[in-house]
Structure 1
Amino acid sequence: MAEIVNLRLVRKARARGAAADKAAQNRALHGLTKAERTRQKTEAERAARMLDGARREED
C-alpha cells in the first residue's frame, strides 16, 4: 500500500530546499573579500585576453 503524502508539505519542503540552494550560491558569490573579488576579476580578464590572443583571424 502506498504512503499518504501531504502535497502542501512536499511543495513547501521543495521550496525550502531551493531557497537553501540559492542562499548557498549567494554566500559563495557575495561572501568574498574585496581582495578575493579583485583577484577573481583579474584572473577572468587575463583568461579573456589569452582566449582573444589565441583566436584566429577570419578572412
Structure 2
Amino acid sequence: MFLGRRIEQGFGNLMAHYTRFKVGEGTEVDAYNFMPHEEVQELTFEEQRMKDIKKKSS
C-alpha cells in the first residue's frame, strides 16, 4: 500500500543483488544496508544459532 516503502525495498534489493554480483559469490550483502528508513529485524536465538552453525560448516 505504501508506495515509498515499496520503492525503497525494491531499490535495496536491486542494489544488494548488484553489489553481490560485482563483489563476488562469497560475500553476504544485506538489502537493509541500502534501505535507510527500514528497521532491521532482530534474529531470535534459534535463528542466530543456525546462522553460526552454517558459518562454521562452510
Q: State whether TM-score is above 0.5.
A: no
TM-score bracket for the superposition, by shorter chain length: 0.3 to 0.5
Q: Which has the higher contact order (CA 8 A, sep 6+)?
A: 2
TM-score of the two chains, using structure 2 as the length reference: 0.40
- Structure 1 or 2: more helix by fraction: 1
Structure ID, larger Rg: 1
